[in-house]
Amino acid sequence: MQKAEERAIQSISELNKRYEERKSKLTELATDNHQKVLEAAVQIITQVKTDG
C-alpha cells in the first residue's frame, strides 16, 4: 500500500510539473501573439487613414 501511495504522489508531482511547463509556454505564446496583433492593428488603422 505504501508503494502505491508513493507512486501516486510521484505521478501527481510529474503531472503538476508538466502542467506548469505547458502553462508557461502558452503564456509566452500569448504574449508574443498579443504584440503581433497590436502591430497588425496599427498597420490596418494607418492603411485606412491613408486610403480614406
pLDDT tens digits, residue range 26-47? 999 999 899 899 999 999 999 8
Q: What is the per-residue pLDDT for 7?
A: 96
Q: Is the pTM of this model over 0.75?
A: no
Between the alpha carbon of residue 4 and those of residues 7, 17, 48, 49, the distances in Å are 5, 20, 64, 67
d(CA 41, CA 34): 11
pLDDT band with cut points at 50, 70 and 90 for residue 52: low
Given a cut of 70, is residue 4 above it in pLDDT?
A: yes
User: Which one is predicted more confidently, 50 or 25?
Assistant: 25
